[in-house]
Amino acid sequence: MGGWSRAGRSTPVALHCGRAQQMGALALVTATFFLTRLIDRSFPPSAASSLAFSSRVHSASDARHLDPFAGGGLAWPDRAYGSELSFKIFVYEEGEIDGLRELMRGRDGTISPDSCIRGQWGTQVKIHRLLLQSKFRTMKEEEADLFFVPTYVKCVRMNGGLNDKEINQTFVKVLSQMPYFRLSGGRDHIFVFPSGAGAHLFRSWAVFLNRSIILTPEGDRTDKRDTSAFNTWKDIIIPGNVDDGMTVFHGSTVVQPIPLSKRKYLANFLGRAQGKVGRLRLVELAKQYPDKLESPELKLTGPNKLGRTEYFQHLRNAKFCLAPRGESSWTLRFFESYFVECVPVILSDQVELPFQNIIDYSRISIKWPSTRIGAELLDYLQSIPDEAIEAMIAHGRKVRCLWVYAPETEPCSATLATLWELQRKVRRFHQSAETFWLHNGSIINRDLIPFQNWRTPVPLP
């Protein structure tokens, strides 16, 4: 009762506070009204073609995440990464484990790694070779924080070196010989799966690699399969492998960008339709608007095959490079566009992009709903002034070094960025359902055998 009577008193102080609160509420409502009107005018809910491109204002802290350079080095966020790179990684040798050579060279050992380094799947070879030369590499398994398992299975499979059944059997055989894999349940072991299929190339990945770190340009695949092999908690999105001739750090690339004013097309799509709805729409759209959108029928074999130089010459001749999904969500065209300096337009709703902790992709690309591919997309792109396009290209020029698989000694590279991401995966302690420990810290298995006495092959978790 006392609380009610105090609240019900109409004292001058209470009246003054009530009026002040009313005035504040009125001001808030008024400000909200005008802010809403301003937003409505800037972004009308009608046709997307009427959207006016507006530059976003970013705080000083955002600039640090857009520009990866700080004092000549890569500025990685402080949160959970540490202030410097400091960990050790063990790289398995192909001859030390029975079956590993087959996963790298095929059943007959005839597939050359040099033939696997080219094309969009070359990251399997490049990352392996770069880690072999890394200052973070250790030759002692017992002191390693992370373990890298080199396999070139996408290339091997494409060249007939192993079929799907053989890949599965060989993977299981290899993993069964790794006591450190069992020690952690695979949590500290790294695998690269560079194609749209991701870890699904290893059919039993869900049993054996469900705790391991997977490096892949591919994210969610639940649109194609019941279970996605990508887990944002443990896996890392990496860039696709752009042709080396376009990513050289020093010297001239095979094709140079051309000024916007000299580009023939508003946009282009250089790729096969593959029977995919979004790509088929672009092909039809190019027929309706041939002066705005280029989408030639590419010849990938035969005398009229489009060479790499011709491909990039076509790509650079538009202000916007359209990147629709194909068999999977990711597309190499997204990364290639930055080296001919056209703005990529993502037409893949489930796409995952690398290094989002330091890159604001809204400043270097456009993402458009794949369900709204049509004339309104071209109208919207045509409404964007060249000044805004140039600004996006300039921002992209700053961060495209993150798509390049160069030595870690370079101040900015995909290699260095991946190492920073891997550092966050390092744990002081690993737990597995098949490992146990005693009061003195010794690790044993369920038969009470100390870890140093484990023999291969061992049962897998």
Over its C-alpha atoms, the chain yields an Rg (Å, rounded) of 27
Of residues 48 and 446, more confidently modeled = 446
Question: Does residue 329 share a domain with residue 217?
Answer: no
Residue 331: inside a domain: yes
Question: Does residue 265 share a domain with residue 211?
Answer: no
Question: Does residue 256 share a domain with residue 398?
Answer: yes
Instruction: Give the pLDDT mean for 62-82.
Output: 59
How many other C-beta atoms are found inside a 10 Å radius of the C-beta of residue 236? Answer: 21
> CA–CA separation, 438 vs 444, rounded Å?
8
Residue 58's pLDDT is: 36
Instruction: Give the pLDDT mean for 267-290.
Output: 88
Question: Does residue 253 share a domain with residue 236?
Answer: no
Joined tokens for residue 120 = 């969009």
Q: Is the pLDDT of residue 37 over 70?
A: no
Joined tokens for residue 161 = 């070196």
Helices marked H in 148-276: 153-158, 164-176, 179-184, 205-208
For 307, the domain range is: 244-404
> CA–CA separation, 81 vs 166, rounded Å?
38
How many other C-beta atoms are found inside a 10 Å radius of the C-beta of residue 294? Answer: 20
Q: Is the pLDDT of residue 389 over 90?
A: yes
> CA–CA separation, 179 vs 188, rounded Å?
12
From the list 358, 355, 423, 361, the residue with the least C-alpha distance to 77 is 358
Residue 27: inside a domain: no
Q: Which residue has the tokens 């890394």?
A: 134
Q: Is the pLDDT of residue 22 over 70?
A: no
Joined tokens for residue 109 = 């050992």
Q: Are 324 and 345 in contact (CB under 8 A)?
A: no
Q: What is the pLDDT of residues 351-386, one digit of tens each?
A: 889 999 899 999 999 999 999 999 999 999 999 999
Beta-carbon contacts of residue 447 (< 8 Å; ≥ 6 apart): none
From the list 62, 81, 60, 64, the residue with the least C-alpha distance to 73 is 64
Q: Are 326 and 196 in contact (CB under 8 A)?
A: yes
> CA–CA separation, 171 vs 191, rounded Å?
11
Residue 366: inside a domain: yes
Residue 178: inside a domain: yes
Residue 28: inside a domain: no
Joined tokens for residue 242 = 């752009």
Category of 82 on φ-ψ map: left (φ > 0), alpha (ψ -120 to 50) or beta: left
> CA–CA separation, 435 vs 443, rounded Å?
7
Provide, rounded to the nearest whole percent, the portion of the chain with pLDDT above 70.
79
Q: What domain count does the chain have?
A: 2
Question: Does residue 218 share a domain with residue 107?
Answer: yes
Q: What is the pLDDT of residues 240-262, one digit of tens each?
A: 999 888 988 666 788 999 999 99
> CA–CA separation, 350 vs 278, rounded Å?
13
C-alpha distance across the termini of the chain, in Å? 66
Residue 208's pLDDT is: 93
Secondary structure percentages of the chain, helix, strand, coil, to 5: 40, 10, 50
Instruction: Give the pLDDT mean for 117-125.
Output: 87
> CA–CA separation, 386 vs 153, rounded Å?
44
Q: Give the CATH number, domain containing residue 271.
A: 3.40.50.2000
Does residue 445 sit in helix, strand or coil?
coil
Residue 347: inside a domain: yes
Dump strand ranges (E) for 186-339.
189-192, 213-216, 236-237, 265-268, 293-294, 318-324
Residue 239's pLDDT is: 94
Question: Does residue 258 share a domain with residue 222?
Answer: no
Question: Does residue 293 share a domain with residue 441?
Answer: no
Question: Does residue 395 share a domain with residue 328?
Answer: yes
Confidence tier at 300 by pLDDT (50, 70, 90): low
Instruction: Give the pLDDT mean for 66-73.
Output: 47
Does residue 367 sit in helix, strand or coil?
strand
Question: Does residue 315 share a domain with residue 166?
Answer: no
> CA–CA separation, 140 vs 176, rounded Å?
19
Question: Does residue 310 share a domain with residue 229?
Answer: no
Confidence tier at 46 by pLDDT (50, 70, 90): very low
Question: Does residue 425 share a domain with residue 281?
Answer: no
Q: Is the pLDDT of residue 306 over 70?
A: yes
pTM for the whole structure: 0.82
Tell me, what amino acid is at 339? Answer: F
Q: What is the pLDDT of residues 208-237, one digit of tens each?
A: 999 999 999 877 555 556 677 888 889 999
From the list 191, 145, 197, the residue with the least C-alpha distance to 171 is 191
Joined tokens for residue 419 = 């190492």
Residue 105's pLDDT is: 96
Question: Does residue 236 share a domain with residue 88?
Answer: yes
> CA–CA separation, 192 vs 217, rounded Å?
9
